[in-house]
Chains A and B, each alone.
Chain A
Amino acid sequence: MLEKKRVNTGALLSLFGAVAALALVILLENTIGPTGQLFTVLKKGAVYALVAVSMNLLNGFTGLFSLGQAGFMLLGAYTYAILTVPVAAKDTVYYLYGGSAVKFSLPDLFAGIFGDGMLSLTLGVLVAIVLGGLVAAFFAWLIGLPVLRLKSDYLAIATLGFAEIIRAVFQWQALGPITNGANMITQIPTFSSFNIKTESGTIYLSSAFPMLIMILCLAVIVMLINSSYGRAFKAIREDEIAAEAMGINLPHHKMLSFCISSFFAGVGGALFAMYASNAQAMVYTSTMTYEILLIVVIGGIGSISGSVIATFLYVACSEWWLRGLDSGSFLGIQSDLFRNGFRMVVFSVVIMIVVLFFRRGIMGDREITDLFKKRPRKAAKEAVK
């Protein structure tokens, strides 16, 4: 009884926060205009936050240390891109291979049913994003069969290897008619495609779209973690033998967590393709996985809100606030030290400081909604009554 009430306050608070954030983003974008670093940060932040949380689900909640995130993002990104290049643009995009082997495009298919317009575009894009996630989850299942028997470092190495292999495969000439080889797939619908043009001007939704998808996905993940499945994942993280003795089927639950995590990484990859307005295999390197890992560690392993907060901080720093570190002047200070790559030096120092002094990250394994809950001691006293 008491617990139900606690969960509901947390859920209500989160819902309220999400709606408020979304409204604020729409308001800001339509008042100060969609250009400017802030919106780059919001868009990229939304994408990265989703991927970071998906990684946290696996690494933080289930205790499986996997480094395959970029590989699953790549699968999502390519699935999305291949399915959404407009039929009319296929010959220009795939000109090296004499057109694409995939003769249809989802938005065009829907346009055939519902006519040209926002509805067909939205449906096509959403279906493509979900399919991106499903393809990533399917590959996760395939490689999970052998790989999930491994533990800790070995699992990390195997998944990292998978991500590298998949990147090479997608650049393979023989797959050119599908993946466009080493060239990028362009002309796909992007976030800006969701700006609605009216006679009196444009309603900008290009930042709200990724935010909305992120919020929906996070809501699903949070519900999963608070369900009995989430408890089983945590039990596996804490003590595999005890979890097994309590009747938790280890292979089944590890696979489930791995596939779900990869699904959302795939969705994140599709969103990243929209953000970058292209899909290109060489972007999804292990560096990207490490970036995500950095965010997860800074935010707190095992905290969803921590991952989200850390993502936006990290993306704001790298894309906006600390830009000057790479381009000669920072906070009015001119120095030869501030040249390309110096930002990464700063990040490396930050991660060292975090690992040395704030080992549990910004949030530890708590959530932001915990701050609004009754103090545990008080709650415990009431539970006894």
Chain B
Amino acid sequence: MLKIDELKVSYGGIEAVKGITFEVPERKIVTLIGANGAGKSTTLRTIAGLVKPAHGCIHLQGEDITSLSPDRIVSKGLTLVPEGRRVFPDLTVLENLKIGAYLRTDSLEDDLNWVYDLFPRLKERSWQAAGTLSGGEQQMLAVGRALMSRPKIIMMDEPSLGLAPIVVKGIFDIIQEINRQGVTVLLIEQNANMALKIADVGYVLETGRISLTGSGRELLANEAVKKAYLGS
């Protein structure tokens, strides 16, 4: 569904992503794992159009989206949940969700209900300013907001960042639930253990290159991965 070919990205002369090629099959959960500075976030930001690549191309359902602006990419069905949640703190939960659906002109009723069903907590707080939510609730809101654009692929940048383990588990359950309902997920995580457990396909990214590929289970069992990312 999503194909990345020989992608290279540089920030002011320094190459952060050094030519990676990978694929996200439809209706699967794919994860990129790797240490700090491996180029995970850069990869997602480039796919979302927030950063322009130096080389390579990105295809979504056969269509080249490499040079499109972020809003065009969102309207093609690819939405990013940015790192660190980034909800709009002074706007209400409902307003946040509506902004997620900004590019849509059809009725939002069904999708609002869908998101509220996935996250009943958001419904309770729909008139509350997003900045007053707890970290976990803000992450739910960030995911819900992205879902409001009715994406075919949702990309998540470190959804577990700064959250308590029990909350992280809740978020990962939701990710699986979203996937079951037909949304393809591209997930990047430092919490490799959690991510690989739910992933159909995993890629290990090391200093801008993909060093290992396999199913989530295979990678979990891989000695090198264990040593480097799972701490055992």
Chain A interfacial positions (CB closer than 8 Å to B)? 3, 228, 231-232, 234-235, 238-239, 241-249, 365, 376-377, 379-380, 383-384
CA distance A383 to B74 in the complex (A): 29
- Name the CB-closest residue of B to A382: B127
Tell me the residues in window 111-126 of chain B with beta carbons closer than 8 Å to chain A beta carbons: 123-126
Tell me the residues in window 174-188 of chain B with beta carbons closer than 8 Å to chain A beta carbons: none
Kindly provide the distance from the CB of B143 to the nearest chain A CB, expressed in whole angstroms.
13
Contact partner, B99, options A248, A376, A379, Cβ 8 Å: A248
**A246 x B145 contact (CB < 8 A):** yes
Q: Does B95 contact A (CB under 8 A)?
A: yes
Kindly provide the distance from the CB of B95 to the nearest chain A CB, expressed in whole angstroms.
6
Interface code B82-107, partner A: CB below 8 Å = 1, 0 otherwise?
A: 10001111110011001110110000
Most chain A CB neighbours (cut-off 10 Å) among B50, B74, B123: B74
CA distance A245 to B145 in the complex (A): 11
Chain B interfacial positions (CB closer than 8 Å to A)? 48, 50, 69-71, 73-75, 79-82, 86-91, 94-95, 98-100, 102-103, 123-128, 145-146, 149
**A376 x B86 contact (CB < 8 A):** no
Q: Contacts of B128 on A, CB cut-off 8 Å?
A: 376, 380
CA distance A247 to B146 in the complex (A): 10
CA distance A244 to B49 in the complex (A): 9
CA distance A238 to B99 in the complex (A): 12
**A231 x B86 contact (CB < 8 A):** no
**B90 x A245 contact (CB < 8 A):** no
Kindly provide the distance from the CB of A302 to the nearest chain B CB, expressed in whole angstroms.
8
**B91 x A365 contact (CB < 8 A):** no
**A245 x B70 contact (CB < 8 A):** yes
Contact partner, A232, options B86, B94, B99, B149, Cβ 8 Å: B99
Most chain B CB neighbours (cut-off 10 Å) among A3, A244, A248: A244
Contact partner, A231, options B69, B73, B98, B126, Cβ 8 Å: B98
**A235 x B88 contact (CB < 8 A):** yes
Q: Contacts of A365 on B, CB cut-off 8 Å?
A: 90
Kindly provide the distance from the CB of A62 to the nearest chain B CB, expressed in whole angstroms.
13
**A247 x B88 contact (CB < 8 A):** no
Kindly provide the distance from the CB of B32 to the nearest chain A CB, expressed in whole angstroms.
18
Q: Contacts of A247 on B, CB cut-off 8 Å?
A: 70-71, 73-75, 79, 102-103, 149
**B123 x A384 contact (CB < 8 A):** yes
CA distance A379 to B124 in the complex (A): 10
Most chain B CB neighbours (cut-off 10 Å) among A238, A239, A384: A238
**B124 x A384 contact (CB < 8 A):** yes
Q: Contacts of A248 on B, CB cut-off 8 Å?
A: 71, 99, 102
**A246 x B102 contact (CB < 8 A):** yes
**A245 x B80 contact (CB < 8 A):** yes
**B126 x A246 contact (CB < 8 A):** no
Q: Contacts of B103 on A, CB cut-off 8 Å?
A: 247
Interface of A is mostly: helix
- Name the CB-closest residue of B to A239: B86
Given the interface pairs A380-B124, A380-B126, A383-B127, the reply to whether A246 lies near B99 with Cβ below 8 Å is: yes
Q: Contacts of B124 on A, CB cut-off 8 Å?
A: 380, 384
Q: Contacts of A377 on B, CB cut-off 8 Å?
A: 127
**B74 x A238 contact (CB < 8 A):** no
Kindly provide the distance from the CB of A300 to the nearest chain B CB, expressed in whole angstroms.
13
CA distance A241 to B124 in the complex (A): 27
Kindly provide the distance from the CB of B52 to the nearest chain A CB, expressed in whole angstroms.
13
CA distance A376 to B100 in the complex (A): 22
Given the interface pairs A247-B149, A248-B102, A249-B69, the reply to whether A242 lies near B86 with Cβ below 8 Å is: yes
Q: Contacts of A376 on B, CB cut-off 8 Å?
A: 127-128
CA distance A376 to B87 in the complex (A): 20
- Name the CB-closest residue of B to A380: B127
**A245 x B48 contact (CB < 8 A):** yes
CA distance A379 to B145 in the complex (A): 21
Kindly provide the distance from the CB of B94 to the nearest chain A CB, expressed in whole angstroms.
7
- Name the CB-closest residue of A to B103: A247
**A246 x B149 contact (CB < 8 A):** yes
CA distance A231 to B108 in the complex (A): 15
**B90 x A238 contact (CB < 8 A):** yes
CA distance A244 to B128 in the complex (A): 23
Given the interface pairs A245-B80, A245-B82, the reply to whether A238 lies near B88 with Cβ below 8 Å is: yes
CA distance A376 to B95 in the complex (A): 14
CA distance A248 to B128 in the complex (A): 23
- Name the CB-closest residue of B to A365: B90
CA distance A248 to B100 in the complex (A): 9
14 additional A-B pairs beyond A235-B99, A241-B82, A380-B125, beta carbons within 8 Å, are: A234-B95, A235-B88, A242-B82, A242-B86, A243-B99, A245-B80, A246-B99, A246-B100, A247-B102, A249-B71, A376-B127, A379-B127, A380-B126, A383-B123
CA distance A380 to B133 in the complex (A): 14
- Name the CB-closest residue of B to A3: B94
**B91 x A234 contact (CB < 8 A):** yes
Given the interface pairs A246-B145, A247-B74, A380-B127, the reply to whether A241 lies near B86 with Cβ below 8 Å is: yes
Contact partner, B87, options A3, A242, A380, A383, Cβ 8 Å: A242
Kindly provide the distance from the CB of A219 to the nearest chain B CB, expressed in whole angstroms.
21
- Name the CB-closest residue of B to A1: B109
A-B interface, 6 closest residue pairs, ranked by CB to CB distance from nearest: A247-B74, A242-B86, A238-B88, A380-B127, A247-B71, A249-B71
**B95 x A231 contact (CB < 8 A):** yes
CA distance A124 to B123 in the complex (A): 53
CA distance A44 to B128 in the complex (A): 38
- Name the CB-closest residue of A to B94: A3
CA distance A232 to B104 in the complex (A): 13
